[in-house]
Amino acid sequence: MIRIFFKLFFLFLGGYVLYLIYKILTEPVHRETQNKNKKEVIKGELVKDPVCGVYLPKEQAIKLEYKGQTYYFCSEECKTKFLEESSR
């Protein structure tokens, strides 16, 4: 009876030790996965590109003064497309 108790005790203890080793080895992987899922927070005012509709931070946008209004673009391509369409 005592032998069965000790066998079960050591079996449980061995399983618990293996569980702790597993947790220690896999914990950094979980942290990296959680960090990848975090989204970058954009600070500052957002502006919308009138051509493609993308929102971007005002300080990263390409600025154009056109007919008394200010327009912001995500790229030179969008700015060129806007000027081509406006000149028609």
Q: What is the pLDDT of residue 5?
A: 81
Question: What is the residue-averaged pLDDT of the chain?
Answer: 84
pLDDT tens sequence across 26-62: 776 555 555 566 666 667 899 999 999 999 999 999 9
- 3-state secondary structure string, the chain? CHHHHHHHHHHHHHHHHHHHHHHHHHHHHHHHHHHHHCCCCCCCCEEECCCCCCEEEHHHCEEEEECCEEEEECCHHHHHHHHHHHCC
pLDDT score at 51: 94
pLDDT at residue 80 tops 60: yes
Q: What's the rounded Cα separation, in Å, for the pair 50 and 71?
A: 8
Mean pLDDT of 59-81: 93
